[in-house]
Amino acid sequence: MLRLSKKHLPFITGIFLVILYYIPVLILGENWYVIILDNLDSSIANIKMLKDLNLVFDYSSKEPIIGPVTRSAFRAPWDITILLYTFLPLFWGVIVNSFLARIIAYIGMYLLLSRHVIKDSAHKYFIATLSSLCFAFIAFYSDYGISSAGIPLVVYAFFNLKNNNKIGISLLCIFLYGIYSQLLLSGVFVGIIGVIYYLYIVIHDKKAHWIFISALFFLGIIYLFTNIQLVMDFTGGQINTSHRAEFQNDSTIGQIILSHFKLFCMTQIHTGELITIPILLLFIYNWMITKRTDKISLYILLAIISIVSFGLIYHVILLFSTPGSFIQQFQMDRFYFFLTTLWIVLLARTADLTIENKGGLSIVICTCLIVIGCDFIRNKEYMFQAKKYVLDRQTEPTYHQYFDEDLFAEIHEYINKPRQECPIVSIGMHPAVAQYNGFYCIDGYWNAYPLEYKHEFRKIIESELEKDNDLKNYYDHWGSRCYIFSSELGKEYRYGKNCGKVIQHLDINTEQLRKMNCQYVFSAVPILNHKELDWNFERSFTNDNSFWEVYLYKLPY
C-alpha cells in the first residue's frame, strides 16, 4: 500500500506518535479512565452480559435476558469491535479496538491526502502527516469501530475505483469498513453520498463506472450480512412496537440554531469532537494573503456548510412532524459523520497553499499543533488523567472503579441468590454497573425496547417525573434511559461515595416495583424516606479504593 522511503519518514514518525499515545494506558491498565457516555454505561456492559451468558454468537434465544430485551436487540457478533470485546479481556478489547481505530484513521487520512488531495510538492508528505495526526488524535468513540475514523479510508478506496486504480486494495478497504462500522450511524450515509457521487461522475464522465457502482453494492451486501437481525426485525414489523415510537423533538428553533452553530465550530461528540476554528482561521488567512480562492477548498467548505444546514433544516422539520413517525425515530442528519474528515481535508488543502507563502511553514505548523492541542483538550480520557495525577482531583471513576467487580462480588455474596431470582434497580448510578457484575436489572439503557414496557416502567417513577418537567420530557419523549429517576438527583448517574448527596423524599411506586418482580434497590446515595417506601435498609458497601458506596435496600414481599 505504501512504498517506504525517506520521503515517507514523516509517515513512519506519525505511526510512532500514535503508538506513543497508548503508553500511559499500558502503564495504568484498568486504572485508566474510559469514556462512560454511550460506552461503559451501555454497550460494554451488554457485551459482558452476553459473554457471561454465552450468547454472543447465539441468536436463538427469544427470552428477555435483561429487562424486556432479548438477544436480537443487541449487536451482531460479525463486526470487528464485538469480536475484539469477545476474545480479549474486556478492558483490553476496548483498548485494542481504540488503537486499531486510531491507526486506521491515521493511515486512511494519510492515503487520502497524499494520493488525492495534496498536490505534489516538497512539503506534500509532511503536510499529509501533520494533518493525519490532527485526525488520528481526535477523541473518537471507538465503540463505534471506524464509523467515523474510517471514512477517509473508504473515501480513498472509492476515489481509486473511480479512476480504476488499486482495485484489489480498494475493495479490501471497503470490506474492512463494512465489517468495522455501524450501518445506522454512518453506513447508510456513506451509501447515500456514494450514490450521489456516482450519479455525478456518470453524468460528468459520460461512462458507467461499473467498478464503482459494484463496490457500492459490495458494501451494501456486507452491511446486509452484518445487520441481518436488524433487517429481519424491521421487515417483521417489530420496530413499530419499539419505545422509539414516542420519540419527539422538544427543542426550540433558537436552540436548534445554536446547536448547529456549535456543530460548525466543533464536530459532534460521537464522531469525535474536533474544534474547527483554527482550520477556518487558516482558510481565511490564506485567502487574505493570496487574494485568491482554491476551488477545491471552497467545495469542501460548501460541503461542510451543506451538512450543517441540512441538519438544521431537518431538526426544524422534526418540530412539526408527528411524534413517533419514521423521521422522528431514525436520525437522518447523521451526514455529520463526514464533518471530521471534511475539516481535516480542508486543513490539509489550505496548509498546502499557505506553506508556499513567506512564513507559511511556521503558520501551518502552529495551526496543526493548536488543532492537536484542542484534540487533547476535548479528550475526556486524557483530561481525566491530568486532573487526577497533575491536579490531584478525581471527578470520574476509572474503568476499574466504575465497574468495581470486587465491591459487587461482595454484594452478590451478601444477597446469595442466582441473578434471575433477584432482579434489581439502581438509583444514582448507571444500571450498567450492576448489569456488568452479573445482576439481573429491570432498568437499563437500550436503543430499542417494547413500548409497553416503557409504559409499565413509567408507573414506578410517575410521581418523580411530575416533580421535574425536564425529566418528564426526557423520559416520555425519548426514554432510551429506562432509569429510576429522582427529581433530587436529576440527570446525573455517577454519585461517588464522597458526593455528600442524599435523597430526602423519593416518591416511587413500590407496588409497581413488586409487580415487575424487583427484589433489591442499589442506591449510590442514602434514601432517607426508605421506610415510607416500605423498603428495608440492609447495609452499605464500599472500600478505600472504591468510587462508589452502594446502599442496599430490600423490598419485602
Q: What is the pLDDT of residue 391?
A: 83
Q: Pick out the chain residues at pLDDT < 70.
A: 1-5, 233-240, 324
* Separation of alpha carbons 479 and 323, rounded Å: 13
Q: Are 370 and 278 in contact (CB under 8 A)?
A: yes
> Collapsing DSSP states into helix, strand and coil, what is residue 233?
helix
* Cell 456514494, located at residue: 194
- DSSP code at position 525: S
Q: What is the pLDDT of residue 233?
A: 64
* Separation of alpha carbons 339 and 308, rounded Å: 9
> Collapsing DSSP states into helix, strand and coil, what is residue 492?
coil
Return the amino acid letter for 372: I
* Separation of alpha carbons 267 and 275, rounded Å: 7
Between strands 550-554 and 481-482, the pairing is unpaired
Burial class (CB in 10 A: 0-12, 13-18, 19+), 381: middle
Q: Which DSSP string do the residues of 353-406 spell out, in sequence order?
A: HHTTSTTHHHHHHHHHHHHHHHHHHT-HHHHHHHHHHTS----S--HHHHH-HH
Which is it for the CA torsion 236, 241, 242, 244, positive or negative? positive
Return the amino acid letter for 309: S
Q: What is the pLDDT of residue 421?
A: 86
CA angle 335, 340, 344 (to 5 degrees): 135
Among 312, 286, 301, 298, CA closest to 342: 301
Q: What is the pLDDT of residue 2?
A: 47
pLDDT digits (tens, 9 = 90+) for 203-244: 999 999 999 999 999 999 999 988 887 777 666 555 447 888
Q: What is the pLDDT of residue 517?
A: 95
Domain ranges of the chain: 6-31+75-389, 404-554
Q: What is the pLDDT of residue 293?
A: 77
Residues contacting 238, CB < 8 A, separation 6+: none
Q: Which three cell numbers stand for residue 83?
A: 469480536
Burial class (CB in 10 A: 0-12, 13-18, 19+), 544: exposed
- DSSP code at position 505: -
- Please give the backbone phi and psi of residue 291, each rounded to the nearest 5 degrees, phi first: 60, 20
* Separation of alpha carbons 135 and 105, rounded Å: 7
Bridge partners, residue 540, by sequence = 551
- The upper half-sphere exposure of residue 81, i.e. CA atoms within 13 Å in the direction of its Cβ, equals 23
The length of the chain in residues reads 557
Return the amino acid letter for 46: N
pLDDT digits (tens, 9 = 90+) for 516-534: 999 999 999 999 999 999 9
Q: What is the pLDDT of residue 1?
A: 46
CA angle 516, 429, 388 (to 5 degrees): 165
* Separation of alpha carbons 182 and 184, rounded Å: 6
Among 259, 255, 283, 412, CA closest to 350: 283
Between strands 444-445 and 520-523, the pairing is unpaired
Q: What is the pLDDT of residue 3?
A: 54
